[in-house]
Amino acid sequence: MLISRSSEYAIELVLYLINQNSDTFIPLHQIAKDTNLSYHFLGKISQILVKNDLLKTYRGPNGGVTLNRLPSEISLYDVVSAVEGDAFLDQCMLRPQRCSDDSPCQIHPVWANIRTDIQNVFHNVTLDTFTRNDTEL
């Protein structure tokens, strides 16, 4: 698996929000109910996304979360790297703790090429892609 459960939640959260009225703050308990995701885990993930300027929050009876930028201004890379850190695709697939350019495993050259392709997709695919129903990335 390339991304963690936390990143999966983050992606599901922002995908949920792009399908809502962009001017509306959605309560996390409503998102948790609608997506069948853990309310407490969504709370932690939303805090990370707020800290990285991807979401904004509003407290109070009509409070909740909403996107802080237009979907066209947020890439998949932005979402996942907010949770995983910038180096989330830098690790080797076979020996993440021991493999490096200086001491490569057998799969390292192949994975390096695949990793570059994946990084390009993550950087170039923005959230508005999912509102346009594009089938070709």
- Give first-to-last CA distance, the chain, whole Å: 20
Would you write out the chain's pLDDT as a tens digit for each of its 137 residues? 467 899 999 999 999 999 887 778 999 999 999 999 999 999 999 999 999 999 999 988 888 999 999 999 999 999 999 998 877 677 776 666 677 778 788 888 888 888 888 889 989 999 999 875 554 54
Helices (H), the chain: 5-18, 28-35, 39-51, 76-84, 108-124, 128-131
Exposed, middle or buried, 65 (CB in 10 Å: 0-12/13-18/19+)?
Answer: buried
Q: Is the pTM of this model over 0.75?
A: yes
- C-alpha–C-alpha distance, residues 32 and 2, integer Å: 24
Provide the residue ranges of all domains of the chain, joining segments of one domain with +: 5-86+127-131
Pick the CATH number of 5-86+127-131 from 1.10.10.10, 1.10.246.90, 3.40.50.2300, 2.60.40.10: 1.10.10.10
